[in-house]
Chains A and B, each alone.
Chain A
Amino acid sequence: MAIDKETVKYVAHLARIELQPDELEKLSGQLHDILGFIDKLSRLDTSRVNPSSHILPISNVLREDKPRDSLSPDKALENAPVKKGNFFSVPKILE
């Protein structure tokens, strides 16, 4: 399957990554090559195979719904680039 510059631009937007024009150019070519290599997978008949999202025979791991200690607001905010009071601060979302 081919991937063109427009698709890369769109996917980069979905991934919230700003690409410079030279990056877009280079990446499109590289992703095209990588996907060409990956297309090898379409040679296999997988119609009767179940997918494995992980290899452990466990699912739905639950724990008791009991409160326990967690990070204090001060500690949780220690690494915030911008904070206000006990909150992370971001650019305005609503006008």
Chain B
Amino acid sequence: MELNQLTAHELIDKLKDKQANASAVLDAIYSRIEKVEPSVKAYVRVNDVKKPVCNPQPDSLLKGLPITIKDNICTEGINTECCSKILQGFRPPYDATVINKLKKSGAEIFPLKANMDEFAFGSSTENSRYGATHNPWDLESVPGGSSGGSAASVAADEAIWALGSDTGGSIRQPASFCGVVGLKPTYGRVSRYGLIAFASSLDQIGPITRDVRDSSILSQVIFGYDPNDSTSVKQDVPDFSKSLTNDIRGLKVGIPGEYFVEGMDAEVKTIIEEAINKLNSLGAVSQKVSLPHTEYAVPVYYIIATAEASSNLARFDGVQYGWRAKSDNLIEMYKKTRGEGFGDEAKRRIILGTFALSHGYYDAYYLRALKVRTLIKQDFDAVFKDFDCIVTPTSPTPAFKIGEKTQDPLKMYLSDIYTISVNLAGIPAISIPCGFTKKGLPVGLQIMARPFDEAMLFRVAHTFEQNTDWHKSNPKL
């Protein structure tokens, strides 16, 4: 095994025992990038960055370990453009809180940023100004999105681990498509300071890793209250290493009937049912439950998320940063800058969100969506009274082909049908590999838990992982 193929926890041990050094790890990643990046395209602005030397970081847990960062998380001095023309050349003057925490833990912030759908608007990483990322398991398929670059870089061994962000499934769905582990923490667990906002009541940063132990280690580093984010929560972070018990005997697992209906790929269905059987054979007790408002999650999301986005993206007006169109008139300058600077999906969402908030439509759309959001949250509250976790597929299908859904936005939106409710309810969820289709595409199992009970996710996911080998498979590149 090369150094770039190891998990972070294996590397932590090797670096500690001096069986490897930090620059050898970086070298291994770079030679992998040289080999596979032309076909995977997980990173952006590759030619702008010279091969770095290791920066002196404090002697701490992650000393010498590189981490790949999505292009919407601010890294001081390293371009952060949300893969959008409108943020062309933006070099943040400060670090996001998660980056600060990583640096304090000794981690090396990898200088190449991971590709994404522009402003995280998408489920396939095709809406990037830098072009699509390709799925390492099938180069003609999408890696999922919007954190497709982060997930593909980990799957293709071009990164040890990565950070993504998840507003409606943007960590879990690409993790599922790329056969890696992706965690969406509870809303408020991770500071959003320095995460370029998409939908502020839904966004969370989270880890994309090769296994569950790595996910728990990275969570331990990035979780916690931050006075710079008024929506981060003062809640103790437990020692997650204690959750990796390989014991789920007696746990009550809810299986929502609404997630196993039309539109679901038959192979995915079989693989998920086998995974549930596996959990039962390990001592969990699964039982059918109901989340009756599931079918409303996608429409609610596309009102709330676009409304919040239309407000958040008002700041991109060609004045303070990024790209500006030429004009002598202020209003015209705004309109040209935004008309030329935003891609199609960004314009579609900003206009939809502006419409939902506009006079005469606010009650019918935005307010109604906020009310249905309450109903969706109440569905989860009711199930979690009696169940420790909920298990579902992460996505109704395996990775789809590049170009397959780009002409039909509604079809693309429906690919998030199993992940969106989690963001609306603010609960945590993880996607782990649980099998492959006959064509060799990975399938992800999603586990959801009560707010702030990520420990439950790690416990169930780790137990499943210890008793299966899916996470050990690698794409042939």
Which A residues form the contact surface with B (CB < 8 A)?
1, 3, 7-8, 11-20, 23, 27, 30-31, 33-35, 37-38, 40-42, 44, 46, 49-56, 58, 61, 63, 71, 75-76, 78-82, 88, 90-93
Contacts and interface: CB of A to CB of B under 8 A. Distances in A.
Interface stretch (B245-253, B294-302, B465-473): B294-302
Interface stretch (B4-12, B125-133, B347-355): B347-355
Q: Is the interface of B mostly helix, strand, loop or mixed?
A: helix
A30 B94 contact: no
Query: Which of A37, A51, A78, A92 has the largest count of B CB atoms less than 10 A from its CB?
Result: A51
Given A18-B339, A42-B368, A50-B374, A56 B187 contact: yes
18 contacts: A7-B355, A11-B354, A15-B350, A16-B331, A17-B335, A20-B339, A27-B348, A31-B352, A34-B413, A38-B303, A38-B365, A41-B372, A49-B374, A52-B370, A52-B373, A55-B187, A56-B188, A78-B91
Query: What size tier do the contact residues of chain B reach?
Result: 35 or more
Nearest to A93: B330
B299 A37 contact: yes
B414 to A, nearest CB: 9
B336 interface: yes
Nearest to A70: B94
Nearest to A82: B324
Interface of B: 89-91, 93-94, 187-188, 201, 227, 230-231, 233, 293, 295-296, 298-300, 302-303, 310, 314, 317-324, 327-336, 338-340, 342, 344, 347-348, 350-352, 354-355, 358, 361, 364-365, 367-375, 377, 409-410, 413, 424-426, 451
Contact of B227 (A8, A63, A80): A63
Query: Which of B89, B227, B364 has the largest count of A CB atoms less than 10 A from its CB?
Result: B364
Contact of B299 (A27, A40, A79): A40
A18 to B, nearest CB: 3
Given A23-B344, A44-B293, A55-B201, 8 more contacts: A11-B355, A14-B358, A27-B347, A42-B368, A49-B375, A53-B201, A79-B93, A92-B328
Query: Which of A23, A46, A52, A81 has the largest count of B CB atoms less than 10 A from its CB?
Result: A52
A72 B250 CA distance: 57
Contacts of B348: 27, 30-31
